[in-house]
Amino acid sequence: MKKSVSILLTLLLLLCLYPASLANARQHPATVCVLPGLNPEQVFTDNNRLKHGDPFSDYKIIILDAEYFTPAQIRILHKKGHLVYSYLNIGSLENTREDYEDYKDLCLAPYENWPEESWVDVTQKRWQDRCNRRGKQLIAKGVDGFFIDNTDVYDLYHTVSVKKSLDVILTKLHAQKNSTGVRSAVMINGGSSYVSAKLKEKKKNLPFTAVCQESVYNHVVNYEKQIFKKNHRDAKAYYLTYLKKCKKAGLFVLVLDYEKKSARIKTIRKACKKSGFGCYISTTLELNQVTPVQ
């Protein structure tokens, strides 16, 4: 009887701690869909009901640009059993954002292949405060974490001050508590140079819980026509080595690739599963269509 009570108490403790376990790769949900280009109108009716039942039923985590979704819509996704991470761009600025005019003076250089974007000076406190404030606004909407884009600014401006500035931004975002009372999950998209630098520090408390890497098995040949082909051997080897290091460090690893052919999609998913990586494959660069798990 005592043994049964002990087991029950252990199970209850694990359930209580579950939300905080997102930082652990072994317990982090592996089914993630990456849809920052999705509009609310594509999946919600005018009275905030999900169209077609639950279009995200194959996935546990949904990555959206929560700026365009309402708190009520995010609550509906929670009721369906999903976690919601919001896209948050901390390394560049899009001219489509409502506060573009307030921060365009911090832009450094155009973003190749994305004409509406420019790299931004992350060392400016004004920008750091902006990222922190936007994070709080998204948390207030009910999101569970952040999908951080463009820490690759460290590749272009490879300085100590840029790295430290990214540290400041991410640390503050990770410290923000979501609606469950735990620290917000932080998934970094790309940024292999920055993440690798952080891993080399061998610090226990990283300011992020997961990494996502695009174009591992495939690469984009033509952005305008959206043509995808198998990645070059050296590039693939580099990313796989990097992702294995991330996994070894206890981070959840997600591969984001682009492919239209179902046979190739299955091949990539199989390779990711073998490596212990999460995997999302999009048929479009806009990341605005749900890809069913086959």
Q: Beta strand pairing status for 145-149 and 83-89?
A: parallel
Q: Is 85 exposed, middle or buried (0-12, 13-18, 19+ CB in 10 A)?
A: buried
The token pair at 283 is 């048929």
Three-class SS of residue 11? Answer: helix
> Is the pTM of the predicted complex or chain greater than 0.85?
yes
Q: Beta strand pairing status for 92-94 and 61-64?
A: unpaired
Q: What is the pLDDT of residues 156-214, one digit of tens each?
A: 999 999 999 999 999 999 999 998 999 999 999 999 999 999 999 998 899 999 999 99
Q: What is the pLDDT of residues 54-82, one digit of tens each?
A: 999 999 999 999 999 999 999 999 999 99
Q: Answer whether residue 25 shows pLDDT above 50.
A: no
CB 162 within 8 A of CB 122: yes
Q: E strands along the chain, which residues?
A: 32-34, 61-64, 83-89, 92-94, 107-110, 117-120, 145-149, 185-189, 210-214, 218-222, 227-230, 252-258, 278-282
Q: Answer whether residue 86 shows pLDDT above 90.
A: yes
Q: Which of 21, 23, 18, 20 is nearest to 207 (CA)?
A: 23
Instruction: Give the bridge partners for 37, in sequence order.
Output: none
Q: Which of the listed CATH numbers 3.40.50.720, 3.20.20.140, 3.20.20.70, 3.40.640.10 matches domain 2-282?
A: 3.20.20.70
